[in-house]
């Protein structure tokens, strides 16, 4: 690995989130980091490089690699050339597998932004064993999905003595505008609910269970919650799945671990509107004609303006009880979908490239792959982790 020409290659650098990730690396990657940009269009890559050179003159000579998911040889070349790959090219269910396959075969670490459960489960089924054999760390969901929750729960668990049975509720608040790419990923996920259920079922059948410990997720019920300070809706995203996978993998989560995950809303009318709107979107996404109409409402390349991102924020509160103690922790930051996501993704890749980490491989969660070193990085980068009793 040390003989490879690059520490990090960013695939998808010409997209909206990919461009923000490139800007973060240009401003914050240590000088020793050998990194490159990859994408389909040489001309667009050159435009990105010129923009990065205004942030950091050293980026004027940044290497550019042409690659396309439809060209397997170009994808393999990226995986062979670097220690870590970042990819922002989604929806991942359509465009993600070739790069996962190449990294698993080459023993190359991989990070992405996916919030698509079907994709994550299929990649585990198809490539986990190979990645474990080659030493690759395949780490999905290294942005707002699912870093604040996965690392926030790990941070919360660390507030209790080892061996403590724990019950943790996570409450998510945010104020943000999301991009066309995020919208398209959501609609495609709604359209694949049956396929996602089949993949999840097969993974549950094949994945080893923790021995001598119990880990479970509890859906919870909608309603007003005093711990959250508002109305809550159980939030069946990929995030609680990621938390529970970390809990199954790490004995530090204790002998009996339970987690529930909620979205917090100010008013009951918002709760009702979200339930109704979500149900309608899921129903419309099942049929190709209505799904196509939904997808036309927002272009994949659209994103919030800098002014909108500057006003965006997120806060996740974890209320934990165990061993007669009650601890409340919070993870908070700015623009969740873009500014903080590009930070989380970049710091995850830098952590894999440069930090002393546990000897683990295969498809693993951020908490399992990086844990406390990544929390330390994110705190230094301005994302707040705090606890109170």
DSSP codes, 23-71: HHHHHHS-TT--EEEEES-HHHHHHHHHHHHHH-GGGGG--EEE--TT-
Radius of gyration, CA atoms only, the chain: 20
| pLDDT band for position 248 (cuts 50, 70, 90) | very high
**pLDDT band per the 50, 70, 90 thresholds, residue 261:** very high
Residues of the chain with CATH 3.30.360: 147-334+384-388
Between 39-48, 64-73, 157-166, 272-281, the lowest mean confidence (pLDDT) is in 272-281
User: What are the phi and psi torsion angles at 325 (to 5°)?
Assistant: -115, 155
Sorting pLDDT into bands at 50, 70 and 90, what band is 175? confident
Confidence of residue 283 (pLDDT cuts 50, 70, 90): confident
Res 280: pLDDT: 75
Whole-number pLDDT of residue 178: 67
pLDDT single digits (tens) 203-231: 999 999 999 999 999 998 899 999 998 99
Compute the mean pLDDT over every residue in the chain, rounded to the nearest whole number: 92
Domain 6-143+339-380 belongs to what topology? Answer: Rossmann fold (3.40.50)
The pLDDT tens digits of the residues spanning 312-336 come to: 899 999 999 999 999 999 999 999 9
Per-position DSSP letters for 305-327, written without gaps between them: -HHHHHH-EEEEEEEEEETTEEE
Would you place residue 13 in the very low, low, confident or very high pLDDT band (cuts 50, 70, 90)?
A: very high
Q: Where in the chain is CATH 3.40.50.720?
A: 6-143+339-380
Half-sphere exposure of residue 127, counting CA atoms within 13 Å on the CB side? 31
pLDDT tens-place string over residues 133-174: 999 999 999 999 999 999 999 999 999 999 999 999 999 998
CATH assignment, 147-334+384-388: 3.30.360
250: nearest Cα among 158, 124, 171: 158
Residue indicated by tokens 């604040």: 148
pLDDT digits (tens, 9 = 90+) for 87-142: 999 889 999 999 999 999 999 999 999 999 999 999 999 999 999 999 999 999 99
pTM equals: 0.93
């Amino acid at each position: 690995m040390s003989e490879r020409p690059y520490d990090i290659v960013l695939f998808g650098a010409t997209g909206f989130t990919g461009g923000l990730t490139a800007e973060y690396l240009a401003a914050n990657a240590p000088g020793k980091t050998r990194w490159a940009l990859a994408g389909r269009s040489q001309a667009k890559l050159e435009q990105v490089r010129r923009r990065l050179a205004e942030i950091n003159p050293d980026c004027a000579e940044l290497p550019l690699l042409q690659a396309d998911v439809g060209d397997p040889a170009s994808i393999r070349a990226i995986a062979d050339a670097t220690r870590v790959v970042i990819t922002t090219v989604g929806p991942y269910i359509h465009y993600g597998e070739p790069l996962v396959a190449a990294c698993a075969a080459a023993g190359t670490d991989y990070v992405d932004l996916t919030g698509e459960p079907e994709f994550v489960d299929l990649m585990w089924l198809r490539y986990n064993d190979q990645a474990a054999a080659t030493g690759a760390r395949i780490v999905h969901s290294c942005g707002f999905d699912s870093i604040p929750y996965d690392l926030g729960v790990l941070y919360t668990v660390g507030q209790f003595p080892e061996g403590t049975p724990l019950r943790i509720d996570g409450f998510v608040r945010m104020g943000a505008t999301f991009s066309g790419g995020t919208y398209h990923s959501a609609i495609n996920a709604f359209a694949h609910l049956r396929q996602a259920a089949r993949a999840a079922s097969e993974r549950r059948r094949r994945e080893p269970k923790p021995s001598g410990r119990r880990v479970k997720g509890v859906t919870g019920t909608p309603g007003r919650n005093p711990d959250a300070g508002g109305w809550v809706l159980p939030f069946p995203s990929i995030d609680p799945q990621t938390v529970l996978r970390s809990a199954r993998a790490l004995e530090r989560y204790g002998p009996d671990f339970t987690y529930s995950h909620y979205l917090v809303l100010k008013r009951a009318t918002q709760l009702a509107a979200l339930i109704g709107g979500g149900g309608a979107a899921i129903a419309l996404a099942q049929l190709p004609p209505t799904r196509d109409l939904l997808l036309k409402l927002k272009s994949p390349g659209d994103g919030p303006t800098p002014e909108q991102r500057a006003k965006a924020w997120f806060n996740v509160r974890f209320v934990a009880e165990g061993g007669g103690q009650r601890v409340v922790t919070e993870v908070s930051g700015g623009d969740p979908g873009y500014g903080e996501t590009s930070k989380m993704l970049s710091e995850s890749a830098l952590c894999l490239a440069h930090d002393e980490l546990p000897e683990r491989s295969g498809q693993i969660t951020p908490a399992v792959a990086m844990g406390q070193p990544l929390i330390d990085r994110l705190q230094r980068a301005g994302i707040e982790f705090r606890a109170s009793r």
